[in-house]
Amino acid sequence: MKKRFVLPAVAAVASLTLAGCAPADSSADGGAGELTVVATTTQVADLTRNVVGDTDGISVTQLIQPNQSAHSYDPSVADLTALGDADVLVINGVGLEEWLDDAISASGFDGVTIDSDEGIEIQDVAAGDEHADEEGHADDATETDVAEHSHEGGNPHIWTDVANAETMVGTIAAGLSEAKPDLAADLEANARTYTDKLEALDDWIETNIDAVPADQRLFVSNHDAFGYFTESYDVTYVGSIIPSFDDNAEPSAAAIDALVAAIRATGVKAVFSEASISPKAADTIASEAGVTVYSGDDALYSDSLGKAGSDGATYIGSQLHNVTLLLESWGALPTAVPGDLR
């Protein structure tokens, strides 16, 4: 059984969750007045909004927009203005926001930073590039490219494992509660309600993937963004088209050839594009290997959630979408989605 994150009592842990605490007389006054919160990525913003819920007195602004890569994001003037005016900044961490230091300097932000990766075991470069090592898999061809383009500190795609998202929610709730103690009870209640949904999602994913024979759980994606997911749910990650955590990296010809060989050798049936990345390379690889390509509306949500109205508009929706398509590619029919997750 997977280890569960238990939402702590906010008062007991809040002081441990802040990456940078504002002084007592800062704009995060913990009392009267609206608390202005800026969240960096689409996933972090969605988790934050679920913690805040319909609680009056807190506003949340999201920087990175749907289907926009966190790796290539460049803050606009409006983004910097919002950041400069914020009391609290919620980040993914693990080096994903490579632009963050410059943005903080340019905006003059001097509030509280909540680093949502607190308490999560971070995968290193090798763990994020765990392609299978038999029958011509792509390890040797991709190793150099991954080392050149990896994020300092490890694999930043922590949210792809739902158990990590539960931990992130607890960290965000504790940090916001310390910044706004008069709303702590509401924030903790919202976080518990949402964590219950995440636990139901985690159970649904685990149950459905476990029903597929282990040797059939083969996965090829556009870039190396699913290491936490594949490790948590025991999926064999055969390889990625872009051999890096960074979707701006370029695959070498040798890496492409090695991945095509790995697909043929292992019996992979599909290649998955990702919503925030051009599908051209995935189309080419799938065509060369003679397998199905999932792109367009069937692309996976990885670095970014989707626009409003899409399957991936929320964190929970994105996970349901991704896993449903993976199961389809393996020839499996998913069980009914629990009602409160629809």
pLDDT score, position 145: 34
Q: What is the CB neighbour count within 10 angstroms for residue 53?
A: 14
pLDDT score, position 19: 41
Q: Which two tokens stand for residue 89?
A: 């900044």
Strands 112-115 and 18-20: antiparallel
Place of tokens 């090798």: 126
SS3 140: helix
Residue among 60, 79, 58 at smallest CA distance from 68: 79
CB 320 within 8 A of CB 313: no
Q: Which residues are bridge partners to 114 per DSSP? A: 18, 90
To the nearest 10 degrees (0 to 180), the angle between helices 253-266 and 280-289 is 50
Q: What residue ranges define each of the domains in the chain, with the CATH number in brackets? A: 10-122+158-199 (3.40.50.1980), 140-153+212-341 (3.40.50.1980)
Q: Which residues are bridge partners to 270 per DSSP? A: 292
Rounded to two decimals, what is the model's pTM?
A: 0.85
CB 247 within 8 A of CB 177: no
Q: Which two tokens stand for residue 23?
A: 């002084």
Taking the chain (342 residues) in runs of 10, the rounded mean pLDDT of each run is: 49 40 40 88 98 97 93 94 98 96 98 98 68 40 34 86 98 98 98 98 98 98 93 96 64 87 97 89 92 95 96 98 98 96 88
CB 109 within 8 A of CB 161: no
Q: Report d(CA 79, CA 81) in Å as an integer.
A: 5
pLDDT score, position 18: 45
Q: What are phi and psi of 51, to 5 degrees?
A: -70, -40
| Amino acid in the structure at residue 35 | L
Report pLDDT digits (tens) over 162-175: 999 999 999 999 99
- H-helix segments, the chain: 10-13, 42-52, 77-85, 100-107, 125-128, 139-149, 162-179, 184-210, 227-233, 253-266, 280-289, 315-329
pLDDT score, position 223: 84
pLDDT score, position 247: 53
| Amino acid in the structure at residue 58 | I
